[in-house]
Amino acid sequence: MDGGSDSNAYWSANIRLVVICLIIWAIVSFGFGIILRPMLSGISIGGTDLGFWFAQQGSILVFLALIFFYAWRMNALDRDRGVDEE
């Protein structure tokens, strides 16, 4: 495989990972925190309803988890492609 197609495959995998993370984040923050909030209001978590929790805390925690997930997957992708930092 030449360097160009290998580079394209690397960036394609990177962009795919970014898109997946952004979709998950949008579903959690916009979907659960805003659109589905009335449906989640009957479920209690930590003294408040689940929709409010997603709007205030859940989306932030999911965002932080996605940052660590992205870093972990990119390190694995870098190792597989031989472009890791070590």
pLDDT tens profile 21-45: 999 999 998 888 888 888 888 888 8
Using the predicted structure, report yes or no on whether residue 67 has a pLDDT greater than 90: yes
How does residue 1 score in pLDDT terms, banded at 50, 70 and 90? very low
CA 37 to each of CA 21, 41, 46, 59: distance values in angstroms, whole numbers, following the listed order: 21, 6, 16, 13
Please report the pLDDT score of residue 24 as a whole number: 95
